[in-house]
Amino acid sequence: MTNSRKSAIETVINRETIKPKIESAKVSEYFGSNVFNDAAMRHYLSEDAYMAVKAAMKDSSKISREMADAVAAGMKGWALDKGANSYTHWFQPLTGLTAEKHDMFFTPTIEGKGIEKFGGDALVQQEPDASSFPSGGIRATFEARGYTAWDPGSPAFIMKIGDGKTLCIPTIFISYTGESLDYKAPLLKASHFLEQAALPVIHLFDKDATKVSATLGWEQEYFLVDQALFNQRPDLLFAGRTLLGAAPQKGQQFEDHYFGSIPERVYAYMLDLETECHKLGIPLRTRHNEVAPAQFECAPMFEEVNVAVDHNSLLMDLMERIARRHKLRVLLHEKPFAGVNGSGKHNNWSLSTDTGKNLLSPGKTPKTNLLFLTFFVNVLKAVNEYSDLLRASIASANNDHRLGANEAPPAIISVFIGSYMTDVLNEIEKRVAKGKYDELTNANLKLDIHNKIPDVMLDNTDRNRTSPFAFTGNKFEFRAVGSSANCAQPMTIMNAIMGKQLLSFKTEVDKLIKDGETKEGAIMRVLRKYITESKNVLFEGDGYSEAWEKEAQSRGLNNVKTTPYALDFYKTKKAREVLIDTGIYSERELAARIEILYHTYVLKIDNEANILADIAVNQIIPAGVNYMNTLSANIKGLKESGLPASAVKAQKEILTALAEHVNAIKTEVDKMMVAKEKAHHSKSNDIASKAYCDKVKPLLDGIREHLDKLENLVDDNMWPLPKYREMLFIR
């Protein structure tokens, strides 16, 4: 075996488990200890400053400069007590990673000494060196600077890296001209828009609610691979996924891994991750093996969507960092291994009021059930209207590999609601007959579903897992989101389409009331209409089946499998209605964002093509040639020793096959480089992304086929890269 591969495998086999640093059995004793949370604020802030932050958190009211100074002073005091000597604005640029720029509290004084300084200005705004973050042309045309601005809605925290500690302040990232350049700013706008649209609807039922927020509970899937093996795979190192690799002999008998016992090293990793998360106030609660070998999942208790998104970004950061401590590498890519399950990040989404009501949870009385039904049916209508935007919101080069392959939802957006809710909707449709106002008021429709729904939902263990968007009892679960995605994008779209939908609903109800209907009658009538109109998007069957692809097509549902085409949905009239007319994006912001997304796709495929070409030419062809030399020497030797031709038959066959694959690889790589060059020179990012998708990407797949065939032919001892079986099965 090649020396480096062999020694990597030996390293893995001999690894000791790294002991996790357990704080205490009781998480409650240290949960949030590194967060400037309510308790810390009460301790470190004046009454006025505390009230100012609370008000900003509740209804986004502005914090005065004077108050900002007071808050900064308190935050600094807390951070210094915690041992942090620097601070950073922490933000989520469109690269998909988190970014930070650290500054020290320390400021030298003229006496040659110094003091620790942190004022309101530094808290509220910072100017990171932002020229390397994507701006979709916004900054190039105006002004190179970008600003970060404090988001009081997400608490500051202390990040510990090694022995260094830094106060991190969650911020939005905007251009000099005020345009959003990150994930958070549009999410905040969409959440605000949704709240404004939802409150009047809630007030039809509950006059006391003053606030409503979207809630998000994400479930993060990931793979873990030993660092020694990871480092020997340039594709994992630079693309986050394997670009080649023959299927392991063990085949797909992977189910034994699911909910099986967690390997010891992984368990130690999970414990460390949980401890760090808990200190940072990330309410992780579940951990388990996933379907594929070496695949795992963690999930927290749900939170307000803005905080939940920040927590997921923070988690992904922590996952990578803590994995290194355990000599592991975490793969957040949606499809690290071909032929093996991919990783998603289910986004569980709901709405809840400050009166403690989950709006997607069926209530105990007919009246609260009507509230539930109102929001439930409006979600269906929103998804039916804007399913293409949801598709666009989860589009990425990574996720293209996952959607519709190996146990992942297809690229068709449909909604699963279960047989019970299907019956309820059918009943409403039947009974709330058009124009029969009297029957409604006669309480013909009792809405006594509260007796059944909770039980049915809890017992319903075989929930349809093949749906990209499923009702799961008290929330909807958007399952098509990719594991490496920032949840903000799908959540922004979700909030936007729901807000838009609720505005229409309220208008329609008001009109009926004005025309003389009772409130309940008006609501039921509009819901009935929506039920009829939303049927197209409802699907209860097997979302993985070919039959569904056909049916979806006949229903006119889109099945867009690749990112460059899915992104086009952002340019439609409907997208403008929901994203621009609502003020969530300005015209330029949306245009810039689409540019960035097309361009990101281009960079991704271009990068993969380069890596694949490099591995193919510099590692795999030489391995093939080496083995060919061995074989031809052997054939020559056997012939010289006078053996008949039949003795070298097998060697000759293998040799011929090797030569064919080696030649094909070289030819195809050359072809790919030409196609890449051509795509690269397209007139726009939009056109380039499509060229990369249609002309370059298929060549990568073609090359891979030859590489994988070669892997099955070449002497195992000569193969330079760790194999699938080694990465997936050696613990």
Q: How far apart are the first and last CA of the chain?
A: 19
CA distance 720 to 728: 17
CA distance 218 to 594: 25
C-beta of 302 vs 601, nearer to Mg ion:
302
Contacts of residue 549, Cβ cutoff 8 Å, sequence gap at least 6: 410, 412, 559
- Which DSSP string corresponds to 257-323? GTT-PPPHHHHHHHHHHHHHHHHTT--EEEEEE-SSTTEEEEEE--EEHHHHHHHHHHHHHHHHHHH
344 and 483 Cβ atoms separated by less than 8 Å: yes
**Residue 358 is a binding residue for ligand ADP (CB under 6 A):** yes
Cα dihedral: 97, 103, 104, 105 (round 10): -110
CA distance 499 to 48: 34
C-beta of 150 vs 471, nearer to ligand ADP:
471
- Name the residue with the smallest CB distance to ligand ADP: 217
C-beta of 284 vs 613, nearer to ligand ADP:
284
Q: Helix, strand, or coil here: 387?
A: helix
Which parts of 205-224 interact with Mg ion (CB under 5 A)? Answer: 219
490 and 478 Cβ atoms separated by less than 8 Å: yes
C-beta of 219 vs 608, nearer to ligand ADP:
219
692-724: burial string, b at 16+ Cβ within 10 Å, e else: bbebbbebbeebbebbbbbbeebeeebbbbbbb
For the bound state, the minimum distance from the C-beta of residue 359 to ligand ADP, rounded and expressed in Å, comes to 9
Q: Which does 216 bind (CB under 5 to 8 A by kind): ligand ADP, Mg ion, none?
A: ligand ADP
Q: Which does 299 bind (CB under 5 to 8 A by kind): ligand ADP, Mg ion, none?
A: ligand ADP
C-beta of 172 vs 214, nearer to Mg ion:
214
CA distance 409 to 545: 10
For the bound state, the minimum distance from the C-beta of residue 477 to ligand ADP, rounded and expressed in Å, comes to 6
For the bound state, the minimum distance from the C-beta of residue 346 to Mg ion, rounded and expressed in Å, comes to 4
Structure tokens at 215: 């809630």
C-beta of 179 vs 477, nearer to ligand ADP:
477
**Residue 216 is a binding residue for ligand ADP (CB under 6 A):** yes
Q: Which does 301 bind (CB under 5 to 8 A by kind): Mg ion, ligand ADP, none?
A: ligand ADP
Q: How many CB atoms lie within 10 A of CB 251?
A: 8
One-letter amino acid at 607 equals N
For the bound state, the minimum distance from the C-beta of residue 409 to ligand ADP, rounded and expressed in Å, comes to 13
Cα dihedral: 28, 34, 35, 38 (round 10): 50
Q: Which does 286 bind (CB under 5 to 8 A by kind): Mg ion, ligand ADP, none?
A: ligand ADP
Using CB under 6 A as the binding criterion, the count of chain residues that bind ligand ADP stands at 17
192 and 60 Cβ atoms separated by less than 8 Å: yes
526 and 412 Cβ atoms separated by less than 8 Å: no
Considering only the stretches 194-202, 445-453, 470-478, 636-644, report the one whose residues sit in contact with ligand ADP under the rule CB under 6 A.
470-478
Considering only the stretches 49-57, 126-134, 295-303, 443-451, report the one whose residues sit in contact with ligand ADP under the rule CB under 6 A.
295-303
C-beta of 101 vs 211, nearer to ligand ADP:
211
690 and 663 Cβ atoms separated by less than 8 Å: no
Q: Helix, strand, or coil here: 331?
A: strand
**Residue 345 is a binding residue for Mg ion (CB under 5 A):** no
Q: Which does 302 bind (CB under 5 to 8 A by kind): Mg ion, ligand ADP, none?
A: ligand ADP
**Residue 104 is a binding residue for ligand ADP (CB under 6 A):** no
C-beta of 476 vs 565, nearer to ligand ADP:
476
CA distance 385 to 490: 16
Q: How many CB atoms lie within 10 A of CB 493?
A: 26
**Residue 286 is a binding residue for ligand ADP (CB under 6 A):** yes
Considering only the stretches 210-218, 487-495, 507-515, 676-684, report the one whose residues sit in contact with ligand ADP under the rule CB under 6 A.
210-218
370 and 519 Cβ atoms separated by less than 8 Å: no
C-beta of 301 vs 433, nearer to ligand ADP:
301
CA distance 433 to 390: 32
Packing angle, helices 488-514 and 519-534, rounded to 10: 130
**Residue 475 is a binding residue for Mg ion (CB under 5 A):** no
C-beta of 311 vs 604, nearer to ligand ADP:
311
C-beta of 326 vs 345, nearer to Mg ion:
345
C-beta of 221 vs 310, nearer to Mg ion:
221
For the bound state, the minimum distance from the C-beta of residue 217 to Mg ion, rounded and expressed in Å, comes to 9
C-beta of 491 vs 537, nearer to ligand ADP:
491
Distance of CA 611 to the CA centre of its chain: 24
Packing angle, helices 305-325 and 184-202, rounded to 10: 140
C-beta of 476 vs 569, nearer to ligand ADP:
476
Q: Which does 17 bind (CB under 5 to 8 A by kind): Mg ion, ligand ADP, none?
A: none
Q: Where are the alpha helices (DSSP H) in 181-263?
A: 184-202, 227-230, 234-239
- Name the residue with the smallest CB distance to Mg ion: 346
Among 190, 197, 277, 299, binds ligand ADP (CB under 6 A): 299
CA distance 117 to 95: 31
Considering only the stretches 12-20, 34-42, 345-353, 575-583, report the one whose residues sit in contact with Mg ion under the rule CB under 5 A.
345-353
For the bound state, the minimum distance from the C-beta of residue 192 to ligand ADP, rounded and expressed in Å, comes to 19
C-beta of 106 vs 259, nearer to ligand ADP:
259
CA distance 410 to 543: 7
CA distance 248 to 44: 57
**Residue 259 is a binding residue for ligand ADP (CB under 6 A):** no
State how far the alpha carbon of 597 is from the alpha carbons of 297, 435, 591, in Å: 27, 48, 10
For the bound state, the minimum distance from the C-beta of residue 599 to ligand ADP, rounded and expressed in Å, comes to 33
**Residue 697 is a binding residue for Mg ion (CB under 5 A):** no
For the bound state, the minimum distance from the C-beta of residue 26 to ligand ADP, rounded and expressed in Å, comes to 21
Q: Helix, strand, or coil here: 557?
A: coil
**Residue 76 is a binding residue for ligand ADP (CB under 6 A):** no
User: Element (H or E) spanning 380, and its range?
Assistant: helix 366-393
**Residue 467 is a binding residue for ligand ADP (CB under 6 A):** no
Among 5, 139, 311, 346, binds Mg ion (CB under 5 A): 346
Considering only the stretches 35-43, 215-223, 257-265, 409-417, report the one whose residues sit in contact with ligand ADP under the rule CB under 6 A.
215-223
C-beta of 221 vs 226, nearer to Mg ion:
221
Judged by phi (left if over 0) then psi (alpha if -120 to 50, else beta), residue 166 lies in beta
Structure tokens at 497: 């389409």
**Residue 302 is a binding residue for ligand ADP (CB under 6 A):** yes
One-letter amino acid at 454 equals P
For the bound state, the minimum distance from the C-beta of residue 305 to ligand ADP, rounded and expressed in Å, comes to 9
Structure tokens at 179: 């345009």
CA distance 322 to 694: 38
Q: Which does 474 bind (CB under 5 to 8 A by kind): ligand ADP, Mg ion, none?
A: ligand ADP
Which parts of 309-348 interact with ligand ADP (CB under 6 A)? Answer: 346, 348
Q: Which does 217 bind (CB under 5 to 8 A by kind): ligand ADP, Mg ion, none?
A: ligand ADP
With the C-alpha atoms ordered 602, 604, 609, 614, is the resulting torsion angle positive or negative? positive
Among 17, 37, 474, 682, binds ligand ADP (CB under 6 A): 474
C-beta of 415 vs 526, nearer to Mg ion:
415
Query: Which parts of this chain interact with Mg ion (CB under 5 A)?
Result: 219, 346
| List of residues contacting ligand ADP (CB under 6 A) | 215-217, 219, 286, 299-302, 346, 348-350, 358, 474-475, 477
